Amino acid sequence: MRTMSKILKIPFTKFHGLGNDFIVAKERNLSGDPGQLAQAICERHTGIGSDGLLVLSRAQSTGNHARVRFFNADGSEAEMSGNGIRCAGAFLMRENPRRRALRLETASGVKILESLSSARQMGAGKWAFRVNMGRPILDAERIPFLAGSRPSPVVGLPIRTSWGVLAATVTSMGNPHCSIFVEDFEGLPWEEIGREIERSPLFPNRTNVEFVKVISQKEIEVRYWERGVGKTMSSGTGSCGAVVASILNGFTQRKVKVRTLAGVLEVTWPKGKEVMLSGPAELIADGIYFFPRQTKTSESELRLGQFISGPRLSSEQIARVEVPRS
C-alpha cells in the first residue's frame, strides 16, 4: 500500500461576529474527520484562516432548521459558540431571507435566533440577531469544575497561578467559563494567565477565560482567551459568562453592554430566566478550499492508474504541451 494525496474541493463561506471569524461548510460536502479539516482550513498562513469551523447539517428533530457543530482552530470540538451561532444563522438567512427566526441544534441544546436585520442590511451582507442562550449552568459538577467542598455557585474562589492568587467565578453557557475581574488591562499579562488557566487541572475539559473590567453597573469591558483558540477579538459565550459572573458578584445590573476589542455586544439575564445575547454577523467571502487528503492505494490500483493515464511525460515533454485557447 502507498499513501496518496487527493484534493477535496470544499465550498465555504466566511463570516465574522465582531472580529471572531468562522468558516461555514455543509457536512454533505465534507469527508473524514471535521477536526482535521478545522486544523487545516483555520490556519492563517496556509489555510483560509479563522477562529473556528462551523459544520451545518440537517436537523435531527422536526421543527428545527439545522444542526451546527463547532470546531476550534486546534481541531477540538466545542459545545457552543455565541458568535459562531450568529454566523451560522446568517448563512441560513442568506439562503432563505424570508425567515425571521431560527431553531438551531447544538451540543448544548436548541438555540433560538430572532433576526433583528432589515432587508437593506441583509442585502449588504450584514445581519443582527437576538439569541436565546439558555440558562447558565452554575453547578460545579456540571460545568465541570473541581470545586472540592466549595458550594455552588463558585463565586470569587481564590485559585493559584504563576502570577499569584486570583479570584475566579466559574460558570457555563454550555461550555465552561472562568471570569477574572481586573482593575485594568494595561500591564496585565492576561494572555499568559489565560493560557495557564485554560489547562488548569481544576477544569477537566479545559476552560475559556475572561478578564473583566467593570466600567459601571450597565457596562463592562472584556478580554477573551478561548479554549482551543487563544486570544480572540470577542466571544459570545464569553460575554454571557462575564455578565453572569458580574451579576453573581453584585457588580452590575441584569442588562449589560459588553465592550470587546471589535465592538459592543448586549447581554441580558432576567432573574430566573434565560440569558439573551444580541449582536451582529457579517459576510466576508465565499470560496472553494482545496483540502489535501491522504488516502492509501494498493500497488494494483497504482498500476491500473498508470495504464489508464498512459506513460509519464518528461519535464521537457511537459514544457512543450500547449494549452488550447478558447
> Tens digits of per-residue pLDDT, 40-89?
999 999 999 999 999 999 999 999 999 999 999 999 999 999 999 999 99
Q: What pLDDT score does 81 carry?
A: 97
Please say whether the structural domain 154-273 has been given the CATH code 1.20.120.530: no
Q: What pLDDT score does 318 carry?
A: 30
Q: What pLDDT score does 295 carry?
A: 60
Question: How far is it, in rounded angstroms, from Cα 26 to Cα 275?
Answer: 28
Q: What is the pTM of this model?
A: 0.86
> Would you give the end-to-end CA distance of the chain in angstroms?
41
Question: How far is it, in rounded angstroms, from Cα 143 to Cα 229?
Answer: 19
Q: What pLDDT score does 312 carry?
A: 40
Kindly give the parts of the chain with pLDDT less than 70.
Answer: 1-5, 294-326
Q: What pLDDT score does 320 carry?
A: 35
Q: Which of 255, 238, 198, 194 is nearest to 84 (CA)?
A: 238
* Ranges for all domains in the chain classified under CATH 3.10.310.10: 2-134+282-290, 154-273
Q: What pLDDT score does 121 carry?
A: 87
Q: Residue 176 half-sphere exposure, CB side, CA atoms within 13 Å?
A: 24
Using CA atoms in the order 35, 41, 47, 49, what is the torsion angle rounded to 10 degrees?
A: -110
Residue 186 backbone phi and psi in degrees, to 5: -65, 130
Residue 70 backbone phi and psi in degrees, to 5: -115, 125
CB contact at 8 A, 176 and 184: no
Residue 224: all three cell numbers together? 477573551
Topology of domain 2-134+282-290, CATH: Diaminopimelate Epimerase; Chain A, domain 1 (3.10.310)
Collapsed DSSP state (helix, strand, coil) of residue 285: strand
CB contact at 8 A, 3 and 296: yes
Question: How far is it, in rounded angstroms, from Cα 179 to Cα 224?
Answer: 10
Q: What pLDDT score does 314 carry?
A: 38
